[in-house]
């Protein structure tokens, strides 16, 4: 094993979904993509999306800021893949912080990190699980582009980070191309928070060209401006390539899924509400309007790449800060209601032909579906996701 368990403290996005959320759903293409829709044959992307099917994230592991996948005390273990497969899942998403430990002078990834990720992909495939691999928590690129607390757009730094990002992708995509095309998807960039839709659009398309050149047969997954909002598909210009998938993250409403964050009160189950049916139907309608399939029925394939609810019975008290900055305490959502919310999201995704990846499997700050130390699923899981 290349990997070893380290002990470290992690804060912020390490243990929480990073997006602050918005329930606004556009009824038109918006100011971004105003071009005339050109039907594309999405057979390849749709086929791969079906193979991804029902999936789960192995987060807070290779996307940590340490030297390996155990820096946030949540290493991916060999047996995890068999556990996930036995539960009935079809795929896993492996977030990776590829820039961590990379060499900026040669634009190459840390060889140990690459070898460790490859090891996990092999284990996943050996267990019959398809894999999504991405660039996750690229904070340096986002910050140089003006995204993040205290960050302002710096054109020189941004272009330098972008060049590094593209060069790393060329190496990663070349290595990933060794895996079967029907077992691996390459996701460009997780939750871009650069506050400029045109900049994100250009970044995604430039990276797409690099990946497609290095991995001509792989399905490539896009995310949108505003930290992977489904509704911001209108701010992208996807290439006319039938072997792509568009992924959005879904935590609506944030007043329920992210209690204790962003000023959301800790109301527990009293805040429960699910709008997944109408939300996901709206996203499909937007995708069909902008990127219809040549068959006249389908649209660009859609993936719900992250969704879940923070908190739970083993998290202690929930603390939130009022408008005066003073802490107040309340309760977390119960495991039962968390599972109910997740099942509603999955039902809507499946009904609308979306693949999905729940956030997450192991220790992910209360979003976890599984308890690795006890080797058991939390109440309501995995039945909420596999039924």
Largest CA distance in the chain: 56
Residue recorded with tokens 């029907």: 182
Does residue 121 form part of some domain? yes
The predicted pLDDT at position 126 comes to 98
Q: How many domains does the chain have?
A: 1
Q: Determine contact, residues 345/307, Cβ cutoff 8 Å.
A: yes
Spatial distance between the Cα atoms of 85 and 58, rounded to a whole number of angstroms: 13
Spatial distance between the Cα atoms of 22 and 231, rounded to a whole number of angstroms: 10
Does residue 2 form part of some domain? no
Q: Which two tokens stand for residue 312?
A: 């739970």
DSSP state of 331: B
Number of other CB atoms surrounding residue 172 within 10 Å: 23
Q: Write down the pTM of the prediction.
A: 0.92
Does residue 7 form part of some domain? no
Spatial distance between the Cα atoms of 254 and 320, rounded to a whole number of angstroms: 14
Does residue 126 form part of some domain? yes
Of 380, 281, 269, 241, nearest in space to 331 by CA: 269
Buried b (16+ CB within 10 A) or exposed e, 331-349: bbbbbebbbbbbbbbbbbb
| Helices of type H across the chain | 43-52, 78-87, 111-126, 139-144, 155-176, 197-214, 225-228, 254-257, 276-290, 335-351
Q: Which two tokens stand for residue 211?
A: 């990946």
> Does 360 sit behind a cis peptide bond, omega within 30 degrees of 0 on the bond before it?
yes
Q: Determine contact, residues 109/149, Cβ cutoff 8 Å.
A: no
Does residue 14 form part of some domain? no
The predicted pLDDT at position 2 comes to 35
Of 248, 263, 270, 251, nearest in space to 310 by CA: 251
The predicted pLDDT at position 316 comes to 84
10 Å CB burial of residue 117 (0-12, 13-18, 19+) is buried
Spatial distance between the Cα atoms of 77 and 184, rounded to a whole number of angstroms: 20
Q: Which two tokens stand for residue 105?
A: 């002078």
Does residue 229 form part of some domain? yes
DSSP state of 13: G
The predicted pLDDT at position 339 comes to 97
In terms of residue numbers, what domain contains 153? Answer: 31-377
Does residue 303 form part of some domain? yes
The predicted pLDDT at position 24 comes to 34
DSSP state of 302: E
Does residue 19 form part of some domain? no
- What CATH number should be reported for the domain holding residue 169? 3.20.20.80
What are the backbone angles phi and psi of residue 91, rounded to the nearest 5°? -155, 165
Of 204, 176, 180, 173, nearest in space to 190 by CA: 204
Sign of CA dihedral 205, 211, 214, 216: negative
Of 353, 32, 64, nearest in space to 224 by CA: 32
In tens digits, the chain (387 residues) has pLDDT values of 333 222 222 333 444 455 444 333 333 333 567 678 999 999 999 999 999 999 999 999 999 998 889 889 999 999 999 999 999 999 999 999 999 999 999 999 999 999 999 999 999 999 999 999 999 999 999 999 999 999 999 999 999 999 999 999 999 999 999 999 999 999 999 999 999 999 999 999 999 999 999 999 999 999 999 999 999 999 999 999 999 999 999 999 999 999 998 889 999 999 999 999 999 999 999 999 999 999 999 999 999 999 999 998 778 899 999 989 999 999 999 999 999 999 999 999 999 999 999 999 999 989 999 999 999 999 999 999 999
- Length of the chain, in residues: 387
Spatial distance between the Cα atoms of 111 and 157, rounded to a whole number of angstroms: 25
């Amino acid at each position: 094993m290349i990997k070893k368990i380290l002990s470290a403290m992690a804060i912020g996005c390490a243990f929480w979904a990073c997006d602050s959320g918005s329930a606004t759903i556009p009824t038109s293409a918006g100011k971004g993509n105003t071009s005339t829709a050109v039907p594309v044959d999405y057979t390849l992307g749709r086929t791969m999306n079906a193979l991804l099917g029902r999936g789960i994230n192995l987060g807070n592991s290779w996307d940590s800021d340490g030297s390996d996948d155990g820096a946030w005390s949540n290493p991916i273990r060999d047996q995890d893949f068999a556990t996930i497969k036995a539960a009935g899942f079809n795929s896993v998403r492996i977030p990776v912080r590829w820039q961590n430990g990379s060499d900026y002078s040669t634009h190459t990834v840390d060889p140990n990190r690459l070898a460790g990720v490859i090891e996990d992909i092999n284990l996943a495939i050996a267990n019959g699980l398809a894999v999504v691999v991405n660039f996750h928590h690229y904070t340096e690129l986002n910050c140089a582009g003006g995204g993040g607390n205290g960050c302002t757009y710096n054109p020189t730094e941004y272009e330098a980070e972008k060049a590094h990002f593209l060069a790393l992708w060329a190496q990663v995509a070349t290595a990933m191309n060794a895996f079967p095309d029907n077992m691996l998807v390459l996701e460009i960039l997780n939750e871009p928070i650069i506050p400029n839709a045109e900049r994100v659009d250009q970044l995604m398309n430039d990276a797409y060209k690099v990946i497609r050149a290095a991995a001509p047969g792989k399905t490539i997954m896009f995310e949108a401006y505003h930290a992977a909002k489904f509704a911001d598909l209108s701010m992208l210009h996807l290439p006319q390539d039938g072997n792509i998938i568009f992924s959005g993250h879904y935590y609506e409403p944030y007043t329920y899924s992210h209690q204790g964050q962003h000023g959301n009160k800790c109301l527990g189950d009293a805040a429960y509400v699910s709008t997944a049916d109408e939300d996901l139907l709206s996203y499909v309608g937007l995708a069909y309007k902008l990127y219809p399939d040549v068959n006249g029925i389908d649209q660009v394939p859609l993936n719900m790449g992250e969704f879940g609810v923070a908190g739970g019975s083993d998290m202690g008290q929930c603390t939130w800060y009022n408008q005066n900055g003073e802490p107040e305490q309340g309760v977390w959502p119960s495991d039962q209601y968390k599972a109910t919310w997740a099942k509603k999201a999955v039902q809507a995704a499946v009904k609308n032909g979306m693949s999905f990846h729940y956030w997450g499997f192991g220790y992910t700050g209360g979003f976890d579906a599984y308890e690795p130390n006890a080797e058991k699923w939390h109440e309501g899981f995995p039945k909420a996701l596999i039924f």
